[in-house]
């Protein structure tokens, strides 16, 4: 793979070169060992293809399996566009054709993906093995559109009408080998599994249920293979080396793209409040619970302490354990009664784990008849409001705790 830095695409490319976008100021980002070139053209990421390429895309234009495409592009759509009617041309296919022409591409021989994520935040990952190179190009936004497969639908398509939702994880996968159509379909499945795994590892929440997101509601994908390659690979599943490389590339690129676009990282996710978010818990709910408990009712002080305590690693770990019990109850892996008992047992250990120097009235705060979230809110809110805890970043006082010197 050859990488370029701020190289402007030239109009006098060699005849055997892939067709480059006729767009002033297009910047070549990289060239694969098979000859595909990746350019950034303002709001689009364009992959230009040499002859002999097979493509499988989910696009409205040039989608499905094709052997005649010259380019695949990923185009940024402004977040203020909320429906297909608002796009130039009045529909997605018409808009994609307009974008193709502006990029200097033949709409009949190109395929386009759409995203609300910024093209500047695209991430690239590459692996190679015995002459076969795999490259993943990913843009990723998950904040407003993350969903788990099987979540309640947002719309029913009728007469081609539906709404845009900001977000989208778009994946373009370049494979420097000859893949039969069935192998390309399997590569698309493997790439989708890798995307879901990346979201699971980051514990990104669905916005439509209490589950962990497996993607966004508007994700698009493209797989590109080289029919001229001497390497013919017939399997892209998890047992194959090709499947391994696809998985690693998509995992890496998706994780990096989420960091660039949404600032979601393993470190940012070490936060109790973020973990509770998918269950509808926020600062307002915490204060509603805390204000009914004994102790000084200073909202600003409580929320300040909540935000600090929320990032305590041991508390985040306990939160994760309790929420996983809730997930297993929902999935049918644990009986609800047994799950509640297990969660209550974890909560009873919080005072010792956090190094609380004050006695915590566990019998008053915890009740196995109540739901797990209500119990969690009561005990953590009480500790934050009333306790001095040596186990929280050395020593953190609850808003109502008495001032004391270091111990």
Domain range annotation of the chain: 2-262, 272-397
CA-based max dimension of the chain: 80
Output the pLDDT for position 23. 56
Q: Per this entry, what is the length of the chain?
A: 407
| Distance, C-alpha 312 to centroid of its chain | 24
Q: What is the pTM of this model?
A: 0.86
Output the pLDDT for position 101. 94
Give the chain's end-to-end CA distance (angstroms, integer): 59
Output the pLDDT for position 31. 95
* Alpha carbon separation from 230 to 18, 92, 98 (Å, rounded): 20, 37, 37
Tokens found for residue 23? 């767009």
Pairing of strands 53-57, 110-115: unpaired
Output the pLDDT for position 150. 77
Pairing of strands 71-76, 110-115: parallel
CA distance 368 to 216: 36
Output the pLDDT for position 151. 75
* Alpha carbon separation from 311 to 16, 49, 305 (Å, rounded): 56, 47, 10
Q: What CATH code would you report for 2-262?
A: 3.60.70
Quick: pLDDT tens for 333-360. Answer: 999 999 999 999 999 999 999 999 889 9
Please name the residue ranges forming H helices in 263-371. 272-276, 283-290, 299-309, 313-331, 336-348, 350-353, 362-365
Output the pLDDT for position 80. 67
Regions in the chain scoring below 50 on pLDDT: 1-15, 393-397, 400-407
């Amino acid at each position: 793979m050859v990488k370029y830095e701020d190289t402007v695409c030239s109009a006098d490319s060699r005849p055997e070169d892939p067709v480059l976008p006729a767009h002033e100021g297009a910047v070549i980002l990289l060239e694969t060992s098979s000859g595909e070139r990746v350019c950034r053209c303002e709001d689009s990421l364009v992959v230009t293809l040499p002859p002999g390429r097979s493509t499988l895309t989910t696009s409205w234009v040039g989608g499905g399996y094709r052997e005649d495409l010259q380019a695949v592009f990923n185009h940024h759509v402004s977040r203020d566009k909320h429906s297909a009617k608002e796009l130039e041309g009045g529909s997605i296919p018409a808009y994609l054709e307009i974008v193709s022409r502006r990029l200097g591409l033949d709409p009949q021989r190109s395929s386009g993906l759409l995203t609300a994520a910024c093209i500047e935040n695209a991430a690239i990952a590459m692996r190679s093995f015995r002459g076969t190179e795999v490259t993943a190009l990913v843009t990723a936004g998950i904040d407003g559109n993350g969903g788990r497969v099987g979540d309640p639908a947002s719309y029913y398509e009728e007469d081609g009408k539906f709404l845009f939702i900001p977000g989208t994880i778009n994946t373009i996968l370049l494979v420097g080998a000859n893949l039969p159509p069935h192998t390309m379909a399997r590569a698309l499945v493997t790439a989708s599994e890798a995307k879901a795994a990346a979201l699971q590892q980051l514990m990104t929440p669905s916005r439509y249920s209490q589950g962990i997101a497996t993607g966004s509601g508007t994700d698009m994908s493209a797989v590109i293979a080289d029919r001229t390659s001497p390497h013919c690979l017939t399997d892209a599943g998890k047992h194959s080396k090709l499947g391994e490389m696809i998985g690693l590339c998509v995992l890496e690129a998706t994780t990096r793209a989420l960091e660039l676009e949404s600032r979601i990282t393993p470190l940012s996710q070490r936060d109790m409040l973020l973990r509770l978010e998918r269950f509808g818990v926020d600062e307002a709910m915490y204060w509603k619970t805390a204000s009914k408990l004994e102790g000084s009712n200073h909202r600003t002080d409580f929320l300040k302490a909540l935000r600090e305590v929320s990032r305590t690693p041991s508390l985040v770990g306990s939160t994760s354990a309790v929420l996983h019990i809730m997930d297993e109850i929902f999935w049918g892996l644990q009986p609800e009664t047994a799950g509640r008992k297990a969660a209550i047992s974890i909560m009873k250990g919080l005072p010792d784990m956090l190094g609380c120097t004050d006695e915590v009235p566990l019998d008053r705060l915890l009740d196995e008849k109540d739901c797990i979230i209500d119990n969690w809110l009561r005990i953590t809110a009480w500790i934050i409001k009333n306790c001095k805890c040596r186990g929280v970043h050395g020593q953190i006082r609850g808003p109502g705790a008495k001032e004391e010197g270091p111990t």
